[in-house]
């Protein structure tokens, strides 16, 4: 057989005999590469190291530092988990087991629930498989023959997947006695897994359908080193301390009421104060940046969502329609059609554009009960939504202004790290998207050009666009290093055409405007949850629901304590008076637990000097000072929206 020529990332080429495996190629380049390589990318396609190479092509070896390497490593770790579970618990039927951003999971159908003791046993069995360096062997099976193999094994869930997704000849992977229908690739053997940990077990449904089989989902994580694993586990422990659901209850910020239903948020007075501060700042900035504030109904006729295309692309996330006077109404999942109707309410000229409509609009989306999570994923939420109607030559400047606005949000609320992603369409599945290829190329080019002109590093995300256009996502990174989706800037060439939007252009003819969807905070609820966890409930002074608390040493100092409270209140400080019949240290401790920035102790000396003895929640005793001076200091922190003080 003729030799093949492989081209390496540095441009070098080398001849090899046809049929050589990727692993043999790696060995020819050095023992270190052969030991580190997890898989290979041949002509742009990921393959196992056991893959035989029979044609000339570019080749790149996937090693641990790469994101692709970590994904393959964690995918293989999921198979390691399934191999251990099916070995220990023959009554467990495996479903799917993908890698995730933070680890992996595997779903199992089993009548008896897994316990914490079971997880320990599974983890121990996984380690035995790693110690034995059990290989991952790729096999190929004709579809009908493969189905019979899995039927004989009793794996009815795998048979469903094979029926739905398998090619005429499909691949499966054998790890010891465990056989899994999977496209791969995988690491050569389980001895490559250096550090892993099972984290929890939770309920799930087969294919996400609550009417289908109930599943048990075992979560785990894996890293290339024990240090990285230990760092991640430490982050999990820190995240538990910052959990917004626990802090929301302890600080009396919000609740979710069973009587009202899941995924619906009740803002308590303290949470309401923080929400007011967020919204007041946002509305002031919107008006300063040329936005018009609008308000639209919570429910509108269903035909609007048919026109917009949401009933085709988004129906499963919409609540059921309501019948009113022989007409169908829909709780709005988006604000877009409402803003479009305002645009259409009168004739528009090119001189009117750009038009920027902003709304803090409450929307309703059907989320399955298994995926809702405190403030982070809910069924009713308020979106800080805006839609910009503009001419094509205004698009890039409007997108730039949105991104600059997003960076101001990050700075104002105390986030100094972020990630930017450009979500594009999957060119292999055009049926998932509205619009033509030419429109998509124009839209993606406009967003890409804007980011490059602004010198903003970004990650290209093919296949992550929404159905009506590409988007820029800005993710903040919180105090313990977790990314959270924040700002989205989405281009839309779909809705203006669907709704027949026009403006009178300078040439005297009607033209169709382009449209930008823009959300800065995402949703007020989710952003609030992120703020709680970022600050662990200890908000900056300007956001704190109670900014200072006055603590009289005894009842005879109550008169002066009330004077202090009133003077600070007149100065616009959110201040409380704790006059309970409790010891001073107990009241200080309670104020500390409520994470109040300033505790003002007043006694005889302070009353005579018109002063306050200041305690800070972070550093404790800050000394005594005149009340007028403290008032000036706290007002400065509020007025400048200081995040560090």
Written as one string, the DSSP assignment of 133-151 is T-BEEEEEEEHHHHHHHHH
Residue 383 is a catalytic residue: yes
Residue 159 is a catalytic residue: no
pLDDT for position 266 = 97
The predicted-structure confidence for 387-412, as pLDDT tens digits, reads as follows 999 998 999 999 999 999 999 999 99
Q: How many helices (H) and strands (E) does the chain have?
A: 20, 34
Residue 240 is a catalytic residue: no
pLDDT for position 1 = 63
List the catalytic residue out of 310, 365, 425, 526.
365
List the catalytic residue out of 118, 180, 385, 473.
385
- CB 444: neighbour CB atoms within 10 A? 21
Map residue 603 onto helix, strand or coil: coil
What confidence tier does 473 reach under pLDDT thresholds 50, 70, 90?
A: very high
Lowest mean pLDDT among 4-8, 149-153, 211-215: 211-215
Token output for 240: 């538990």
**136 CB contacts (<8 Å, ≥6 apart)?**
48, 76, 79, 173, 174, 175, 186, 187, 188, 189, 190
SS3 sequence of 465-531: CECCECEEEEEEECCCCCEEEEEEEEEECCHHHHCCCCEECCCCCEECCEEEEEEEEEEHHHHHHHH
Beta bridge partners of 429: none
Burial of 398 (0-12, 13-18, 19+ CB in 10 A): buried
Compute the distance between CA of residue 290 and CA of residue 356 in angstroms, rounded to an integer: 7
Q: What percent of the chain has pLDDT over 70?
A: 100
Lowest mean pLDDT among 92-96, 126-130, 320-324: 320-324
Compute the distance between CA of residue 262 and CA of residue 460 in angstroms, rounded to an integer: 35
Q: What's the rounded mean pLDDT across residues 295-301? A: 95
Q: Are 309 and 434 a contacting pair, CB within 8 Å?
A: yes
SS3 sequence of 445-484: HHHHHHHHHCCCCCEEEECCCECCECEEEEEEECCCCCEE
Compute the distance between CA of residue 162 and CA of residue 185 in angstroms, rounded to an integer: 17
pLDDT for position 391 = 94
List the catalytic residue out of 79, 348, 387, 615.
387
**562 CB contacts (<8 Å, ≥6 apart)?**
577
CA–centroid distance for 25 within its chain: 40
pLDDT top residue among 95 and 372: 95
CA–centroid distance for 491 within its chain: 20
With a cut of 80, say whether residue 373 has pLDDT above it: yes
Q: Are 584 and 557 a contacting pair, CB within 8 Å?
A: no
With a cut of 70, say whether residue 243 has pLDDT above it: yes
Which stretch of DSSP H or E encloses residue 217?
A: strand 214-223
pLDDT for position 225 = 95
185 prior amide bond cis, ω within 30? yes
Backbone angles phi, psi at 158, to 5 degrees: -65, -35
Q: Are 198 and 218 a contacting pair, CB within 8 Å?
A: yes
Map residue 105 onto helix, strand or coil: strand
Burial call 197-210: b when 16+ CB within 10 Å, e when fewer? bbbebeebbbeeee
What confidence tier does 110 reach under pLDDT thresholds 50, 70, 90?
A: very high
Residue 385 is a catalytic residue: yes
pLDDT for position 82 = 98
Q: What percent of the chain has pLDDT over 90?
A: 85
Q: What's the rounded mean pLDDT across residues 53-81? A: 95
**375 CB contacts (<8 Å, ≥6 apart)?**
244, 245, 248, 254, 265, 525, 526, 528, 529, 532
Beta bridge partners of 517: 387, 490
List the catalytic residue out of 517, 587, 615, 631.
517
The order of strands in the sheet holding 299-301 is: 299-301, 327-331, 322-324
Q: What's the rounded mean pLDDT across residues 22-45? A: 94
Compute the distance between CA of residue 393 and CA of residue 349 in angstroms, rounded to an integer: 15
User: Any alpha helices (H) in 187-322, and if so which ranges?
Assistant: 226-242, 244-250, 269-288, 303-308, 310-313
Domains of the chain: 3-62 (3.10.20.30), 67-241 (3.30.980.10), 254-296+331-535 (3.30.930.10), 548-639 (3.40.50.800)
pLDDT for position 43 = 93
With a cut of 80, say whether residue 370 has pLDDT above it: no
Residue 517 is a catalytic residue: yes
Compute the distance between CA of residue 588 and CA of residue 549 in angstroms, rounded to an integer: 9
The predicted-structure confidence for 5-27, as pLDDT tens digits, reads as follows 999 999 999 999 999 999 999 99
What confidence tier does 433 reach under pLDDT thresholds 50, 70, 90?
A: confident
Token output for 151: 């039927």
pLDDT top residue among 537 and 1: 537
Token output for 122: 């599974």
The predicted-structure confidence for 562-582, as pLDDT tens digits, reads as follows 999 999 999 999 999 999 999
354 prior amide bond cis, ω within 30? yes
List the catalytic residue out of 383, 490, 547, 565.
383
Compute the distance between CA of residue 322 and CA of residue 551 in angstroms, rounded to an integer: 54
CA–centroid distance for 170 within its chain: 33
pLDDT for position 471 = 93
Mean pLDDT of the chain: 94
pLDDT for position 211 = 81
pLDDT top residue among 367 and 371: 367
Q: Are 162 and 181 a contacting pair, CB within 8 Å?
A: yes
What confidence tier does 371 reach under pLDDT thresholds 50, 70, 90?
A: confident
With a cut of 90, say whether residue 50 has pLDDT above it: yes
- CB 48: neighbour CB atoms within 10 A? 22
End-to-end CA distance of the chain: give it in Å, rounded. Answer: 73
- Residue 263 per-residue DSSP state: T
Compute the distance between CA of residue 577 and CA of residue 373 in angstroms, rounded to an integer: 35
> Which residue bears the tokens 């169709």?
512
Q: Are 443 and 465 a contacting pair, CB within 8 Å?
A: no
**339 CB contacts (<8 Å, ≥6 apart)?**
294, 296, 357, 359, 385, 387
Q: What's the rounded mean pLDDT across residues 546-553? A: 98
The predicted-structure confidence for 335-365, as pLDDT tens digits, reads as follows 999 999 999 999 999 999 999 999 999 999 9
Burial call 213-238: b when 16+ CB within 10 Å, e when fewer? bebbbbbbbbbbeeeebeebeeeeee
């Amino acid at each position: 057989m003729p030799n093949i020529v492989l081209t390496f990332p540095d441009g070098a080429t080398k001849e090899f005999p046809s049929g050589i495996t990727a692993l043999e190629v790696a060995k020819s380049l050095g023992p270190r590469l052969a030991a580190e390589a997890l898989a290979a990318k041949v002509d742009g396609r990921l393959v196992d190291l056991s893959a035989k190479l029979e044609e000339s092509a570019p080749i790149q070896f996937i090693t641990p530092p790469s994101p692709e390497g970590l994904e393959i490593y964690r995918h293989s770790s999921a198979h390691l988990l399934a191999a251990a579970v099916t070995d220990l618990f023959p009554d467990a039927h495996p479903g799917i087991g993908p890698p995730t951003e933070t680890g992996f999971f595997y779903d199992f159908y089993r009548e008896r629930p897994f316990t914490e003791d079971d997880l320990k046993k599974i983890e121990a069995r996984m380690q035995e498989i790693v110690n034995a360096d059990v290989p991952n062997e790729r096999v190929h099976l004709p579809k009908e023959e493969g189905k019979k193999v899995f039927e004989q094994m009793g794996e009815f869930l795998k048979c469903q997947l094979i029926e739905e997704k398998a090619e005429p000849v499909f691949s499966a992977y054998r790890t010891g006695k465990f056989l899994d229908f999977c496209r791969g690739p995988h690491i050569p053997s389980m001895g490559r897994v250096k550090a892993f940990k099972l984290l929890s077990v939770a309920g799930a449904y087969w294919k996400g359908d609550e009417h289908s089989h109930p599943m048990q989902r075992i979560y785990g994580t894996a890293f290339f080193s024990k240090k990285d694993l230990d760092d991640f586990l430490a982050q999990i422990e820190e995240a538990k301390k910052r959990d917004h659901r626990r802090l929301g209850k302890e600080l009396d910020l919000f609740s979710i009421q069973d009587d009202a239903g899941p995924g619906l948020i009740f803002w308590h007075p303290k949470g309401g104060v923080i929400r007011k501060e967020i919204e007041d700042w946002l509305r002031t900035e919107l008006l300063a940046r040329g936005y018009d504030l609008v308000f639209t109904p919570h429910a509108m006729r269903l035909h609007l969502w048919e026109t917009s295309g949401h009933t085709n692309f988004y129906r499963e996330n919409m609540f059921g329609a309501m019948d009113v006077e022989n007409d169908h109404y829909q709780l709005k999942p988006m604000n877009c059609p409402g803003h479009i109707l305002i645009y259409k309410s009168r004739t528009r000229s090119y001189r009117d554009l750009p038009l920027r409509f902003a709304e803090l609009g409450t929307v309703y989306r059907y989320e399955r009960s298994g995926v809702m999570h405190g403030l982070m994923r809910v069924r009713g939420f308020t979106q800080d939504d805006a839609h910009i109607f503009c001419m094509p030559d205004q698009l890039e400047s409007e997108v730039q202004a949105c991104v600059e606005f997003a960076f101001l949000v990050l700075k104002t609320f105390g986030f100094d790290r972020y990630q930017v992603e450009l979500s594009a369409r999957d060119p292999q599945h055009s049926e998932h998207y509205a619009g033509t290829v030419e429109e998509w190329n124009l839209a993606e080019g406009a967003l890409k050009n804007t980011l490059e002109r602004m010198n903003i590093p970004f990650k290209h995300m093919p296949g992550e666009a929404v159905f009506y256009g590409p988007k820029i996502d800005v993710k903040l990174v919180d105090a313990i290093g977790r990314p959270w989706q924040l700002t989205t800037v989405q281009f839309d060439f779909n809705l203006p055409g669907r709704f027949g939007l026009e403006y009178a252009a300078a040439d005297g003819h009607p033209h169709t405007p382009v449209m930008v969807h823009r959300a800065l905070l995402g949703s007020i609820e989710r952003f609030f949850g992120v703020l709680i966890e970022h600050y662990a409930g200890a908000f900056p002074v300007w956001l704190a629901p109670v900014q200072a608390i006055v603590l009289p040493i005894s009842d005879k100092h109550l008169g002066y304590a009330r004077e202090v409270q009133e003077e600070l209140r007149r100065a616009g400080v959110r201040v409380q008076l704790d006059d309970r019949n409790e010891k001073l240290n107990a009241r200080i401790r309670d104020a500390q637990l409520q994470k109040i920035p300033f505790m003002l102790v007043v006694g005889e000396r302070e009353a005579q000097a018109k002063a306050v003895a200041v305690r800070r929640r972070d550093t404790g005793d800050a000394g005594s000072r005149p009340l007028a001076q403290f008032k000036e200091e706290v007002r400065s922190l509020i007025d400048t929206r200081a995040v560090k003080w």
